[in-house]
Structure 1
Amino acid sequence: MTHEAKPGWRTHACLVLLLIVYIFNFVDRQILSILAQPIKAELNLTDAQLGWLGGFAFAFVYTLVGIPAALIAQRVGRVRMIAGALIVWSAATAACGLASSWLILALGRFGVGIGEAGGVAPSQSLISDLYPPAHRARALAVFSLGVPLGSGLGIMFGGLLAATFDWRHAFMVVGLTGVLFAPIFYLGARGRERQTAQAASPLASRLRRVAANPSLWLISLGASLSSVIGYGLMFWLPSVFMRSFKATLMSASFSFGLIVLIGGAIGILGGGLLADRLGARSPRAFVLIPAVAYLLCIPAYGLVLLDPGFAFDQAAGFALLIVAQALGLVWMGPVTASLHHVVEPEDRALASALFLFITNMIGLGFGSWIMGLISDYLSHNYAQEALRMAVSYGLGFYILGALCLAAAALRLHRDWRTR
């Protein structure tokens, strides 16, 4: 397959539609974080139960369905799969607003995970087909803006709806909006999907080929370990603001939403542009840039969490959290691009699904849950400050993630492909 030297406006328009779908993905995924406190009060839940809902309840089915969904997408078409997945996860989000118990809310989160499993891997694969290697990291970085935009908007509008009405209406409004957008996406994106000219290899050989790739495993493990604290912070920081800094629901949602929006956009776009520039000289830049950013996250977050002088709602603390959020999301463009450079073009959707399986099972599945468990354990000694301390201890996962990406840098040149 040949790539366009300069992608045209139709390709960029398709990327924008995929970005909007990804925004809905993270709105629906992260809205639970800002609604955690009113849900906890009404349903009488513990931090561990909330962390399980925010992580494992979603991640278990997401990872279970992700690889089969990527394989099905190649048969039915990636655009069709993405549109159908958007309907499923959005409807499940709306259904969460009807929950009367922890179990029913968990079933709703299962539905969100099942739907979202069919969205991200096909989207990343489609983008890598549409954009040439020289533009791929920045294109995937633009797509990855769905993380801060979706998370920030979900937190801000979720908090606004919950404060104005209640948490049930927040789930219903954001969920039904996604259902309405699905046909718009399908009509706008169909026709942009292109298949490789050669026939795909047998599934068994493709699975063996991808599973035997050392670079893929090191990259995935590095992203997974850092995502334990990354997802933990994304889920629990609004609650830390409310418990330790005495913020209201509205001020916590607005402040954290802005932090995610501004910091995330800067970090993701900056990481993608820097990786395309430095990666042209050495492929190792695609993993070393995120590794350095992970290490810088520790003092940036630690100063706010451990030093009372850096309250989140003061200028210095707010600015520092924007820097920390930017550093924490630098990895998304470079790591995803590097993943697609170490496998054959026909294996990209499968590699993305395997990558998402590992990162979501480890990072999303255990991040918020582990932080909640530690918080419950520390509550006997730290009372309301237990959650803040639990999140602070979790910053050590950034070191583990950086070490894995550094190890990947030593191996990367052997597996690198230029297509």
Structure 2
Amino acid sequence: MQPTNNNAYPSTARAWVTVSILLVAYVLSFVDRQILNLLVAPIRADLGISDTQMSLLMGLSFAIFYTIAGIPLGRVADSKSRRGLIAAGIFFWSLMTAACGLAKTYWHFVIFRIGVGAGEAALSPAAYSLMADSFPPEKRATAISVYSMGIYLGAGMAFLLGGAVVTFAQAQGDMVLPFFGLIRPWQFIFLILGAAGVFFCLLLIAIKEPSRKGVGAGVAVPLKDVGAYLLSIRKAVLCHNFGFACLSFASYGASAWIPTFFIRNHGYTPGEVGLYYGSVVMLAGSTGIVFGGRMADWLARKGYSDANMRIGVAAAMLTLLCNVVYLVDNMTVLWIIMFFNVFTVAMPFGVAPAAIQEVMPNSMRGQTSAIYLFVVTLIGLGIGPTAVALTTDYIFQDDYAVRYSIFWVASITTLASAILLWLGLKPYREARETLKAWGERQGQSA
């Protein structure tokens, strides 16, 4: 039986326990998702594939089914047990991650990456809904930003772990495991990650479902009604979704190839990239995303109803300036700018999903969060890494031109993000008013 609608939020301690567990789940998902980025060389060598084929493993094969599965799973999150949905998703994607470690051909790998994407689609729509019902509006951006730290903690851990594995591989070579036989070091890490995820499912018992709050809480809404509501605020939704998707395009496109950029253009070893870049991602990304959430909550308390969107505009403009990092050769200057680049690109990825919660009825939050993730993931992760690879392979036709591919792809899409988010400020404020009016009508008809 689902929790009923009431105005009592969980205690602060209980709410932050929920966020902490969800954060660890998100970290695991991003380690599983991003580990490929530092394993380009050994996987390419074993499977005999190109940069473009590798990019499809990094992005599109994962993103297509992550996005397709997300919308029906978001609908489940609006009416069924969110904790149970998350547990099922983690269990499935962990099995698929382990299966990636058993892949013998490129197409086996593609199929298993599709499975990882489908499983991970269960997490965020349900997590956003849980947090929206655990914190009052003026604290949500911070809470969701802390959860979203998982993006950068997970990606950073993937680089650190991947670097260690590559270093280990060079020293130890192949392994023979019971039941599995001969295993390459890069395959071993997928088996370990899969096992960790399966055991983590037990920790979800500590999450207690909060009551569903707000307009339409606990009510199953037909898809046509969700579509009709979205059409009524379409300008805000389009500017929001595609504005943040362009920033995601730049972020995923760059981060997928930054390790290769350091290896090809600056002579770093994979282990060095994992240590240095992984540490920057964890520190700068985590602080940037929380800073963005705190700033949005501060602006909201000052009376700015479009605070979350304003943070997006500011982040895009600052990131655009920092993209010069890919053209810098002085390593001290490069690492300083890289820190700020990761910080600024991270700023909006907590406020973006928080913004969705502020313009949608409770009963539509899971579905609209899934639609947001559909757009952002399909465009960002699905196309971003491949856009950089195609630019390198077919425009510059030079592996060492990857720095220019990253620069141009990231700069063009970051500029597009700034424009779209700026255009969305007024429609977003109007969407906040639309929700108030919709709630009043629902109250009158009840």
* TM > 0.5 fold call: yes
1:292-336 deviations in Å (ceiling 9; x for gaps)? 21121123131x211212x2xx3x322211110010011012222
SS in 2 for 1:130: coil
Q: Say which one has the larger Rg.
A: 2
Q: Deviations over 1:158-198 (max 9, x none)?
A: 2212321421111111121111101222x111x32423556
1: distance between equivalents of 2:250 and 2:142? 25
2:140 and 2:313 map into 1 onto residues whose CA distance is 20
1:177 is aligned to 2:212? no
Shift in CA distance, 181/373, structure 1 to aligned 2, threshold 3 Å: same
Q: Unmatched 5+ residue regions in structure 2?
A: 170-184, 440-446
Per-residue deviation at 1:206? 2.3
Residue in structure 2 matching 1:350, options 361, 367, 372: 367
Identity of aligned residues (%): 29
What CA distance in whole angstroms lies between the structure 2 residues aligned with 1:124 and 1:256? Answer: 29
Kindly state the Cα deviation for residue 2 of structure 1 after the two structures are TM-superposed: 4.4
CA-CA distance at 1:351 after TM superposition? 1.0
- Structure 2 residue 408 is matched with structure 1 residue 393: yes
Letter in 2 for 1:294: A
2:351 is matched with which residue: 327, 331, 334?
Answer: 334
Aligned partner of 1:317 in structure 2 is: 334
Structure 2 residue 237 is the aligned partner of structure 1 residue 216: yes
Q: Among 296, 299, 312, which residue is 2:318 paired with?
A: 296
RMSD: 1.7
Q: Specify the code of the residue in structure 1 equivalent to 2:202.
A: P
- Of stretches 16-25 and 192-201 in structure 1, the one that deviates more from structure 2 is 192-201
Q: Which structure 1 residue ranges, 4+ long, deviate > 6 Å from structure 2?
A: none
What is residue 188 of structure 1 aligned with on the other side?
A: 206
Instruction: Give the counterpart of 2:26 among 11, 15, 22.
Output: 22
CA shift digits 1:130-169 (9 cap, x unpaired): 1100100000011101000011111111221232142111
Other-structure match for 1:408: 424
Query: Deviations for 1:359-405, whole angstroms, at most 9, x for unmatched residues?
Result: 1111111000111111111453xx33221111011121001011111
Q: Is the deviation greater in 218-227 or in 162-171? A: 162-171
| Equivalenced residues, count | 410
User: Partner of 2:133: helix, strand, or coil?
Assistant: helix
2:147: which partner in 1? 143
* Residue in 1 that maps onto 2:49: 45
Compute the displacement of 1:3 (Å): 4.4
Residue 79 (str. 1) matches residue 83 (str. 2): yes
* Aligned match for 1:207, one of 203, 227, 234: 227
Distance 2:341 2:56 in 1: 25
AA of the residue aligned to 2:30: F
The aligned residue for residue 394 of structure 2 is: 377
Contact persistence 2:97–2:194 (CA under 8 A): yes
Larger mean CA deviation between 74-83 and 196-205 belongs to: 196-205
Q: Does the 8 Å contact 1:222/1:402 carry over to 2?
A: yes
CA distance in 1, matches of 2:66, 2:241: 16
Aligned to 2:308: 286
Q: 2:287 is matched with which residue: 266, 271, 296?
A: 266
Consecutive unaligned residues of structure 1, counting only runs of 5 or more, are none
8 Å contact kept, 1:162–1:169: no
Measured in 2, the distance between the counterparts of 1:9 and 1:180 equals 24
**Aligned partners of 2:168, 2:218: CA distance in 1, in Å?**
55
Q: What residue in structure 2 maps to residue 249 of structure 1?
A: 270
Amino acid at match of 2:386: W
- For residues 367 and 203 of structure 1, the distance between their equivalents in structure 2, rounded to whole angstroms, comes to 30
> How high is the TM-score relative to the length of structure 1?
0.94
Q: Name the CA distance, whole Å, in 1 between partners of 2:104 and 2:35.
A: 18
CA distance in structure 1 between the aligned counterparts of 2:75 and 2:66, rounded to whole angstroms:
14
Provide the C-alpha distance between the structure 2 equivalents of 1:47 and 1:211, rounded to a whole number of angstroms: 40
Contact 2:72 2:367 in 1 (8 A): no
Q: In structure 2, what is the equivalent of residue 129 of structure 1?
A: 133
Q: What displacement does 1:210 show?
A: 2.8
Deviation at 1:408, TM superposition (A): 0.9
- Take 1:74 and 1:349, find their aligned partners in 2: how far apart are those partners? 5
Looking at structure 1, the residues matched to 359 and 138 of structure 2 have their Cα atoms a distance apart, in angstroms, of 15
Tell me by how many angstroms 1:211 deviates.
4.5
Tell me if structure 2 keeps the 8 A contact 1:27–1:154.
Answer: yes
Q: Give the corresponding residue for 1:156.
A: 160
Q: Secondary structure at the match of 2:353?
A: helix
Give TM-score scaled by structure 2 length: 0.88
Q: What is the CA distance between 1:227 and its match in structure 2?
A: 1.2
- 2:93–2:117 Cα contact (<8 Å) kept: yes
> 1:35-70 CA distances to partner (integer Å, 9 max, x unpaired)?
112111221211111111111101111111100111
